[in-house]
Each structure stands twice: as structure tokens, then as C-alpha cells.
Amino acid sequence: MSSQTIADHDHHDHKPVGIKRWLFSTNHKDIGTMYLVFALIMFFIGGSMAMVIRAELFQPGLQFVDPQFYNSMVTVHALVMIFGAVMPAGVGLANWMIPIMIGAPDMALPRMNNMSFWILPFAFALLLGTLFIDGGGPAGGWTMYPPLVLQTGKAFPYLIFAVHFLGVSSIMGAINIIATVFNMRAPGMTLMRLPLFVWTWVITAFLLIASMPVLAGAVTMLLTDKYFGTSFFNAAGGGDPVLFQHIFWFFGHPEVYILILPAFGIISQIIPTFARKPLFGYASMVYATASIAILSFFVWAHHMFTVGLPITGELFFMYATMLIAVPTGVKVFNWVATMWKGAMTFEAPMLFAIAFVILFTIGGFSGLMLGITPVDFQYHDTYFVVAHFHYVLLTGAVFALMASAYYWLPKWTGYMYDEKLAKIHFWLSAIASNVLFFPQHFLGLAGMPRRIPDYSVQFADFNMISSLGGFAYGISQLLFVYIVIKCVLGGKKATSQVWEGARGLEWTLSSPPPFHSFTKPPKVTKALMDY
């Protein structure tokens, strides 16, 4: 081998450094980190839009923004939080943890992994850019219902293309996760030994692949209605705007489970760890997750009880919605049973996990109320619905993501986060989020409509309380950023307690132990135990 060839060979062996390390990364940990950082940035951008909404609603009357801009804030806030914060954060965790948990060297398709991430910043540049276009940003709610959304001005095609890109990114991520878990598990790691976080992500990935193309179809039909003279949703041309709702919610309902199932997985890892007990009912948890996913495709029209469905249809969707509460109840029962008589300690991840179980259950119960057809006629399009889905998504999905950050930060960085500050962050978040969303149940029951920048003076007090809670919640998230940055930059080394103590049990507790009855030589077992 000539010296030149050796030099070339060495050159190829070098990992890229600096900006190249991130731009061209095919390493699952680096890509996972980029997803998580991106999600955090989007969380604050989406949160700042929520602050605009709550500032406007602080008092009756129009104070700060015109109705068109208010409408754009409501629309883009939802799209940013769903597709920019919660979903990428979940994919980031999947990238980081799934290869480690199944004993794989990396994700199955590392280059596609890189591409699925780098689509996101461009998609959100398109989406956020719409706010600076003449005629204002998109204004049809995140559901993009026609004819409302078709009245959006020049921002409309940018909105549609941004949604397409987000869908492409999600589908690529999902394919990667399925390929990794099915093809790259360590010997002896059977499917029914997978940690629950891995299981929830496999099921979520199938949901993504099945539902995302439906959304793509719906928004493409919107695009052709506006620019190519079709009449899918235009009643004047023989179309039907309700058709859009059917297509959208056939995507939209599985989408809510895409947001929450990875959170279920996170909680199923954390609670057994800090209760120091194996997860109660592992198999039932797997089957419950799968049945939630399957049932999620049969309940879409419970979002549409007020559009004039036939009574048989309304009854079917009501009963199917009731049915989906059963596997969800099984999961809550199993988490509580896991904690029962456990040797519990209450570090930050466990506090967030317990709050998740309690507050997500509140969100679940209000969801059951909305699932009862005659009752939904009263609640529909009021703030009760807003309270419901924020309990599920903020005190549900986002709390689980916060829990996961504290839980895995020592594993990711090698340093301990500041436990005292983390607990302060938890209590601020838990109190503020309830002050923010609990009053909205009462507003909704009293009849305050959603997506409206002005309201009757009778709703003033609860709105003021809600806004104060919102500002408190927003400000307290800055503490989270401080804690994470402080941990990443160094500090107390992660002690053996993290690896051998509570968190060291993580694997064996959330799934049947993969350490015995292996078919391959014991060296694999050692590698797995050292994961």
C-alpha cells in the first residue's frame, strides 16, 4: 500500500468535525440530538404564538392583534407544536434510544435518517415564512377546513407544501424505525422482550405510514380546488366540504395517537425504574398499545358529530370511541399497579411521570365526555375541547417528553442535571399548566367558542386566570433550557447510582429480562448489560 493510499484511507476514517459533523451526520445519536434541539426551538416558537393568543384573550375586546393575525397564530401555533415540537422530539428520542435498547449499532438506514431530519428546517421555514406574506398567514385552523382555508391569500400554497414536506419526513423516520427494530435486534431479543418504549414506537411508525398519505391526499385536493378548477370540496361545483373533514380526520385521529403513544412508552420506562419493580402486565401493555392503534382508525367521525351524520353513523362512532377508552384504561391501571407497594423515590423524571398519569387521565375523561354524541352537540367548538386536548397533549405528551429529558440526560451527557432546579421546574410547570387549562373547561361549558379573539364580558375572569397561567408556564420553560444547557456543559459526573441504581434497572423493569435463556453465546448478554 503506497503512503498516498494510506493517507487517503486514514482520511476516510476520520469523522467529520465542526459543522460537517452535524450536516452530514449518519450517527443515530447526533441525529437524535439534532431532532431534540430542533423540537425545543420549535416548542418556544409555538409557545410564543400561544403567548400572543393568551395576551389577546387576557381581557374582552380586541387589544393587540387583528382577527386575521389572531387566526394565523391559532393555525400556525397548532401546526408548529404538533409537527415541529412533539413529533420531532419523539423521533429524536427514538433515534437516540432504540438502537441502544435493542442492541443495534445504529439505525438501519442512516443516510435516510439524515435526510428525514434536514427536511424539517426547510419545511418550517416555508410554514413560518407564510406569516410575512401579503394578506397574512394561513387562517383556517390546523385542520385547514375548506372553505375557510381556501380564502387564505398567497400563503396558501406554502402551507400545503410545508405540510407535504413534514409528511415525507415523518414517513421516512417511520420506515427507518420499523426497518431497525425488525432487522437489527440483538440475538435473543424477541419481540415480546422489547422494552415498551421500542414497542410504542414500532406501533406509532405503522400509524404514521398508514395515516400520513391520507393527509397528503386531502391537502393536494385542497390545492387543486384552489388553483386547478376541481370541486372536491366546493358545493357550487358539486363537491362537499364535509368530505374534507372525513379525509382529514381519518388522518387526524391516528395522528393524536402518534403524538401520545411514544409518551406512553416513556412513562412505561420511567415508572418501573423509580418504583424499583418490574412493569405490571407487560404483555397486556403491548396488546393495549396495538389495540389503541387499530381502533384509532375506526373513530374519526367523533370529531364530526355536528355536521349532520346519519344517526346510525353517530351511534357507531360513539360506541367505537367508548371502546378505545378500554385499552387506555388498562395502561393507566398497569402504571398504578406498578407503583403499588414499590420502593418509590421522587426524582424529577418520576414527578413528571406521576403528573402525566393523573393529568392525562383528566384529559381522557373529558375526551370520553366529548365522545358522547348528544353531549358533544353542547361542547363542540367551545373551549371545553381546547381544555381537553391540551390536557392530553401538554400535561400528557409534553410532560412525558420533559420526563424523558431528565431521565436520559445523564445517559446522553455523562453528567447529572441539577435535581433541585429540575424539581422547581416540575412544580412550576405542573401548577402553571393547570391554572392555564383547568378554567377553560368552565369557559367551554358556559359556551365560550374556540378560535375567536373577542368574547362576552361574562368570560373575563376565567380568561384572565388562564392567561396568567399561560405566561407563568411559558416563563418557567426557560428554566428547563437552563438546566439542560448546564447539564450538557458539564457538572457533577453521572454517578454509578444512575447506571447501576435506579436507572440501571431500566431495561429489565420495562420488559421481560432479555438476560436469560439466550440462544447465542453469553458474550452478547454482557454487551447488552453494558448498553
How do residues 50-82 score in pLDDT, each as one tens digit? Answer: 999 999 999 999 999 999 999 999 999 999 999
Q: Given a cut of 80, is residue 35 above it in pLDDT?
A: yes
255 is catalytic: yes
Is residue 25 annotated as part of the catalytic site, yes or no? no
Say which residue, 286 or 2, is predicted with more confidence: 286
**In Å, how far from its chain's centre is CA 453?**
27
The span from the CA of 163 to the CA of 178, in Å, is 23
Q: What is the pLDDT of residue 530?
A: 52
Selecting among 303, 380, 425, 441, the annotated active-site residue is: 303
Could you say which of 185, 193, 331, 380 is catalytic?
A: 331
For 319, half-sphere exposure in the C-beta direction (CA atoms, 13 angstrom radius) is 5
Residue 313 near residue 301 (C-beta atoms within 8 A): yes
Residue 493, H or E segment: none
Nearest by Cα to 300 from 276, 316, 284: 316
Rounded to whole angstroms, the Cα distance separating 286 from 281 reads 9
How many Cα atoms within 13 Å fall on the side-chain side of residue 451? 18
253 included as an active-site residue? yes
Say if residue 7's pLDDT is above 70: no
Give the DSSP letter of residue 185. Answer: P
For residue 2, is pLDDT > 70? Answer: no
For 335, residues 6+ apart whose C-beta sits below 8 A from its C-beta are: 267, 268, 271, 280, 357
Q: Which of 28, 185, 253, 441 is catalytic?
A: 253
* Whether the predicted pLDDT of 328 surpasses 90: yes
Grid look-up 484511507 returns: 9
Collect all residues with Cβ–Cβ distance below 8 Å to 44 and sequence separation of at least 6: 477
Q: Which residue is catalytic, options 142, 383, 391, 473?
A: 142
Cβ contacts of 470 within 8 Å, gap of 6 or more: 50, 51, 54, 432, 436
Q: Closest Cα partner for 86 from 518, 375, 335, 404?
A: 404
Average pLDDT over residues 421-432: 98
What confidence category does residue 6 fall into, taking pLDDT thresholds of 50, 70 and 90? Answer: very low
Angle formed by the axes of helices 383-392 and 241-275, nearest 10°: 40
pLDDT for the residue numbered 13:
52
Catalytic: which of 25, 75, 130, 170?
170
54, 77, 390, 503: the catalytic one is: 77
Q: Is there a contact between 217 and 243 (Cβ–Cβ < 8 Å)?
A: no
CA angle 206, 209, 212 (to 5 degrees): 130
Per-residue pLDDT at 156: 93
Nearest 5°: phi and psi at 104? -100, 150
Q: Let me know if 30 is a catalytic residue.
A: no
Does the pLDDT of residue 285 top 90, yes or no? yes
In the set 257, 300, 335, 391, the catalytic residue is: 257
Q: What is the mean pLDDT of residues 451-464?
A: 96
Is residue 406 annotated as part of the catalytic site, yes or no? no
Return the percentage of the chain with pLDDT > 70, whole number: 91
Q: Count the Cβ atoms, other than its own, within 10 Å of residue 414.
A: 14
Residue 179 has which C-alpha cell?
A: 426497518
Using DSSP, state whether 430 is helix, strand or coil.
Answer: helix
Active-site annotation holds for 106: yes
Residue 311's contacts (CB-CB under 8 Å, 6 or more residues apart) are none
Give me the catalytic one of 276, 450, 451, 486.
450
> Phi/psi at 427 (nearest 5 deg)?
-65, -40
Q: Quick check: 521 pLDDT over 60?
A: no
Tallying the residues shown for the chain, one arrives at 531
Is the Cβ–Cβ distance between 323 and 377 less than 8 Å? Answer: no
For residue 16, give the 3-state DSSP assignment.
coil
| Cβ burial, residue 474 (10 Å; 0-12/13-18/19+) | middle
SS3 content of the chain, % helix, strand, coil (to 5): 75, 0, 25
Active-site residue, 302 included:
yes
What is the per-residue pLDDT for 510?
A: 59
Q: Which of 41-45, 108-112, 116-120, 505-509 has the lowest mean pLDDT?
A: 505-509
Q: Is 11 a catalytic residue?
A: no
Distance, in Å, from the CA atom of 177 to the CA atom of 181, rounded to the nearest integer, reads: 6
pLDDT, averaged across the chain: 91
C-alpha gyration radius of the chain: 24
Pair 80, 49: CB distance under 8 Å: yes
DSSP bridge pairs for 493: 415
Active-site option among 72, 75, 116, 169: 169
Helix axes 348-371, 311-339, angle to 10 degrees: 160
Verify whether residue 361 is a known catalytic residue: no
Res. 528 pLDDT band, cuts 50 70 90: very low
Active site includes 347?
A: no
Note the pLDDT tens digit of each residue in 116-160: 999 999 999 999 999 999 878 898 899 999 998 888 889 999 999
The catalytic position among 106, 240, 381, 418 is 106
Helices vs strands, H then E, count in the chain = 20, 0
Amino acid found at 461 = D
State residue 244's pLDDT score. Answer: 97
Choosing from 72, 321, 328, 467, which is the catalytic residue?
328
What pLDDT digit, counting tens, does each position of 201-258 carry?
999 999 999 999 999 999 999 999 999 999 999 999 999 999 999 999 999 999 999 9
Among 33, 130, 152, 268, the active-site one is: 268
Task: Please identify which of the residues 54, 226, 277, 302 carries the catalytic annotation.
Answer: 302
